[in-house]
A and B are shown apart, each in its own frame.
Chain A
Amino acid sequence: MISEEELIERCKNKDQSAQKVLFERYANKMMAVCMRYCKNQEDARDLLHDGFYKVFIKIDSFRGGSRIDTWMTRLFINLALNKLRHGRNKYYHDEFEAKHETFTSSDETTSSAYKVEPNQVLDALNQLPDIYKIVLNMYAIDNMSHKEIAAELKISIGSSKSRLSRARVLLNAKLKRK
């Protein structure tokens, strides 16, 4: 099996067979990222194609300071955010459920007394409005700090914290209903 370093080097040299190996190695993982940042499979698949295309174009800028999949994940997230910014109309948004926003103190304090399947979590996550879902994704799953999130989304750190907090409340409420 070809080593990661060699694979990256060959991808930098535009070796098509190496590009295919890299795709096969990380496609599922990146699809997972795409699904978390898109509303549906079709959009996620588009993002997957655009993301790998960008990976192969930009791989020269990968200096090896981190794992390749970490670098790729960050690139996919950036692309997803750009797509959301510039093609808002293309992406489906749920009608905002205002009742979730007028939260009660019980929502805040209730702990997890429910058991849910992973796909129910994904469903609930995908039902959140984008501004909350993205922050929750970035913070909880992609391990980004509020500073990084604020920089990526061009919002203040305060906004990032506030959105994360709202996202948790909303997701908690959705999961409790399942």
Chain B
Amino acid sequence: MDNLQHIDDLLKKSAPSFEYAEVGANDWLAIEKKLKQRKKRIYALWFFLALVFVSSSILLINNTSSDKVQPLSVNEAITNEVDKTVNNAGKEDQAIKNDINASIDKDKELGSIQLKGDITINETAVTPITPLIITVSENEVQSLNTIPDEQSGLIANSKSTNSPIEIENAIEKADNIVPHKITDKDEDAAIAESEKPSVVLNNSDLPKSNNQGDGNNSKLDKNTSGYWELGFSFTPSISNKRITENSLLAGLIHVNYYDKAASSENSSFSNSAGINAQYHLPNGIFVTTGAFISQRTEAVNYDYSIDSVPINNNNEIVGYKPQAPVPVKYSGSNSYHFMEIPLNIGYKTPISTKFEIRSQVGMSYLFLFNQKGKKADFNDLSLKDVTNFALNKNNVAANAKVGMYYNGKHFTIGAEPTFSLNLNNLNVKESSAIIVKPYSYGFNISTNYKFIK
């Protein structure tokens, strides 16, 4: 303890008598206003969260219900029903066949039989066949077309203009089967159905399943396995940095470092470009990786003079030796180039037939391979080349992106705001009193080609 203890005593004694600015009603009003604004913000936040929750739930429910039905293609559905019928056929006897004939006669009188999925069968085509139950999803109904009468006599009653799908194999099978017993209940239900006006589904506005592209392409629609997307990404962004002090070396920071040097370092424009690869699973989850050249930058605009030299002793500045002012004037942009390999996981939510929202989070490995520019030293404020600073070559960053994608037959084009933050310090901690963690926020533009089997 030095003998300036009296300074502490003086401060303690004087502190209660310090004259302060008067605190008045206006101060309370300012605080009250802040508290009210907070309340409003909380209400707005809850409203927003509720909105997100409700809309996500609706999207999720819609997706789940279409996913449940979708894996069964029309042909598979027909084949399944036909197989069931064939299995049952052996158990039928002549009496049952008579019942069926009677039933068919009734159907003839009614003119048509309504099938599940709104597919009607013309009277002429139905004659040799018992009512055929086809279970199809709404999406599949959409891709059913008007099938030429000469092929099967089956007419899809949808007004869709999609291309034909092949179901003649199933019809052939159906021609050869011995029909199973139709109970009175089945028959009544069939009649009741046939009396209803045909319902025409217009599914063009319904969202497609997650991994599907253009609804016009039945090949894509039937794809239920994963697929790759490969393409280019470009992300213009703004780079900035978080600065903290290394507690072990904080004593070496020049007293004027923040005022003169750090305050002259600002955010700057930067970018990232490279090849982007994504693997999409049928359930909407996708994994992305790639190889990018990423740039992080800082704009510096130093204009000060150094009029003292720090006296360092045991990782502390113990004093400053005055010197003739040395001007420091430099404007420029320091850049740090990284090879970036991201690994993100994402989820996509279709919002229409053509558009979907993709969200992804993950980590990137960043290898620093180049650094350019000049920067002020935290200890003596002198201007140094950034190559003189010890920086970590291997870095890790966290990423998050949410954006809108146009989902074409073979291509996707996306635009998404992105945020990336270095998780480790760019400076080597052992040699720097200032710890820098760069971050960037930007707008990613991607275009990918779909590789679908």
Which residues from chain A sit less than 8 Å from chain B, CB to CB? 16, 19-20, 23-24, 27-28, 31-32, 35-36, 41, 44-45, 48-49, 52-53, 56-57, 88-89, 93, 96, 98-99, 101-103, 108-109, 111-112, 116, 118-119, 121-122, 125, 129, 131, 136, 139-141, 150, 153-156, 158-159, 162, 165, 168-169, 171-172, 175
Bound together, the chains give a CA A153 to CA B255 distance in angstroms of: 15
Quick check: A23 and B31 within 8 Å, CB to CB?
yes
- Can you name 22 A-B pairs with beta carbons within 8 Å? A20-B28, A20-B32, A23-B28, A36-B15, A49-B30, A88-B258, A89-B263, A93-B259, A98-B320, A101-B320, A102-B322, A112-B6, A112-B7, A118-B14, A119-B19, A125-B11, A129-B255, A154-B245, A156-B248, A158-B316, A159-B250, A175-B10
Beyond A36-B15, A98-B307, whether A108 also contacts B251 by CB under 8 A is no
Q: Nearest chain B CB to A31's CB is how many angstroms away?
A: 5
Quick check: A35 and B18 within 8 Å, CB to CB?
yes
Of the candidates A20, A24, A53, A116, the one whose C-beta lies within 8 Å of that of B34 is A53
- Chain A residue at minimal CB-CB distance from B249: A156
Q: Nearest chain A CB to B302's CB is how many angstroms away?
A: 14
Beyond A56-B35, A88-B262, A96-B308, whether A159 also contacts B20 by CB under 8 A is no
Which residues on the B side are within 8 Å of A109 (C-beta)?
3
Quick check: B27 and A45 within 8 Å, CB to CB?
yes
Quick check: B3 and A49 within 8 Å, CB to CB?
no
Q: Nearest chain B CB to A170's CB is how many angstroms away?
A: 10
Quick check: A122 and B18 within 8 Å, CB to CB?
yes
Bound together, the chains give a CA A28 to CA B4 distance in angstroms of: 29
Which residues on the B side are within 8 Å of A158 (C-beta)?
251, 316
- A-contact 0/1 string along B1-41, CB 8 Å cutoff: 01110111011111111111101000110111011001000
Quick check: A131 and B255 within 8 Å, CB to CB?
yes
- Chain A residue at minimal CB-CB distance from B253: A131
Bound together, the chains give a CA A52 to CA B7 distance in angstroms of: 30
Quick check: A31 and B308 within 8 Å, CB to CB?
no
Number of B residues whose C-beta is below 8 Å from A? Answer: 47
Of the candidates B7, B15, B244, B321, the one whose C-beta lies within 8 Å of that of A172 is B7
Q: Nearest chain B CB to A72's CB is how many angstroms away?
A: 13
Bound together, the chains give a CA A103 to CA B13 distance in angstroms of: 26
Beyond A88-B259, A88-B263, A99-B322, whether A108 also contacts B2 by CB under 8 A is yes
Quick check: A32 and B2 within 8 Å, CB to CB?
no
Of the candidates B21, B251, B256, B258, the one whose C-beta lies within 8 Å of that of A162 is B251
Quick check: B11 and A121 within 8 Å, CB to CB?
yes
B65 at the interface (CB under 8 A from A): no
- Chain B residue at minimal CB-CB distance from A154: B247
Restricting to B238-267, which residues have a CB under 8 Å from any CB of A?
Answer: 244-245, 247-248, 250-251, 255-256, 258-259, 262-263
Quick check: A156 and B21 within 8 Å, CB to CB?
no
Q: Nearest chain A CB to B113's CB is how many angstroms away?
A: 68
Q: Nearest chain B CB to A71's CB is how many angstroms away?
A: 18
Beyond A52-B31, A53-B34, A155-B247, whether A111 also contacts B6 by CB under 8 A is yes
Quick check: B256 and A96 within 8 Å, CB to CB?
yes
Quick check: B12 and A141 within 8 Å, CB to CB?
yes
Quick check: B11 and A155 within 8 Å, CB to CB?
no
Quick check: B4 and A168 within 8 Å, CB to CB?
yes
Bound together, the chains give a CA A28 to CA B20 distance in angstroms of: 8
Beyond A20-B28, A23-B28, A169-B4, whether A53 also contacts B35 by CB under 8 A is yes
B319 at the interface (CB under 8 A from A): yes
Q: Nearest chain A CB to B325's CB is how many angstroms away?
A: 11
Quick check: A32 and B20 within 8 Å, CB to CB?
yes
- Chain A residue at minimal CB-CB distance from B30: A49
Bound together, the chains give a CA A48 to CA B24 distance in angstroms of: 11
Quick check: A27 and B23 within 8 Å, CB to CB?
yes
Which residues on the A side are within 8 Å of B30 (C-beta)?
49
Quick check: A139 and B8 within 8 Å, CB to CB?
yes
- Chain A residue at minimal CB-CB distance from B313: A162
Q: Nearest chain A CB to B241's CB is how many angstroms away?
A: 13
- Chain B residue at minimal CB-CB distance from A165: B2
- Chain A residue at minimal CB-CB distance from B264: A89
Of the candidates A116, A121, A159, A175, the one whose C-beta lies within 8 Å of that of B316 is A159
- Chain B residue at minimal CB-CB distance from A167: B7
Q: Nearest chain A CB to B403's CB is how many angstroms away?
A: 30
Quick check: B7 and A168 within 8 Å, CB to CB?
yes
Q: Nearest chain A CB to B444's CB is how many angstroms away?
A: 28
Bound together, the chains give a CA A96 to CA B245 distance in angstroms of: 20
Bound together, the chains give a CA A148 to CA B255 distance in angstroms of: 22
